Amino acid sequence: MSKDAYIHKLLPGSPGGPLLFVFHGTGGDENQLLSLGRDLAPQATIISPRGDVSEQGAARFFRRTDEGVYDMEDLTRATIRMAGFVKVHVEAAKPSAVLGLGYSNGANVLASVVFAVPALFDASVLMHPLIPFEPQVKGSLAGRHILMTAGKRDPICPPNLTTRLEAYLRADGADVTVEWHDGGHEVRPNEIEAARRFFADAAQGA
């Protein structure tokens, strides 16, 4: 696997500090979450890949056949490819901690990598993930820290699927925190503040 397997941007941080991977939502690109990542983890080196699937011109990390209906074969392909991309960057950087931040489709591919390779990320922020299937975790998530953020009126990700995902992650040993707001699929200030605290705690624990 090459470090350039995905078109991506890299923002250098403190040598030997955390490595933060950020994953954009549908229609975003490698620029979408860079400034947010820097705000949330000031010392981290940030790597932001661009999704390699186009949905009528909108970049995504894997294909879907309808809203909330995933091409599971392509999700498997994307998960394997992204896990390899992350691993090669981690091996090169030897960071103090490996962090992940994803929004919407980016949260979904991050979650899928966490299921497939539980030891890869020390701490992950999943903003408005939608996992409409029962995840098969390849190992234990014990010692992994996960923050999920969600809207109570999210038309794309119904709250019951958020709580179901929370239950799956807890059952496999993850330390899970959920931050809600009263709106929809948009990111609100309380989510950002929760993610800032979460990453600060993760960096201290590294």
Residue 197, CA distances (Å) to 10, 60, 84, 87, 133 in order: 23, 28, 28, 25, 30
Catalytic residue among 104, 112, 124, 128: 104
Half-sphere exposure of 157 (CA within 13 A, CB side): 28
Respond yes or no: is residue 185 known to be catalytic.
yes
Task: Identify the DSSP state of 39.
Answer: H
Catalytic residue among 112, 124, 145, 154: 154
* Distant-in-sequence, close-in-space partners of 104: CB < 8 Å, separation ≥ 6: 25, 26, 127, 128, 129, 130, 156, 185
- Maximum Cα interatomic distance, the chain, rounded to a whole number of Å: 43
Respond yes or no: is residue 172 known to be catalytic.
no
Q: Which residues pair with 177 in a beta bridge?
A: 147
For β-strands 45-49 and 8-11, DSSP reports them as antiparallel
Task: Identify the DSSP state of 152.
Answer: T
Respond yes or no: is residue 24 known to be catalytic.
no
Catalytic residue among 29, 52, 71, 185: 185
Active site amino acids = 104, 154, 185
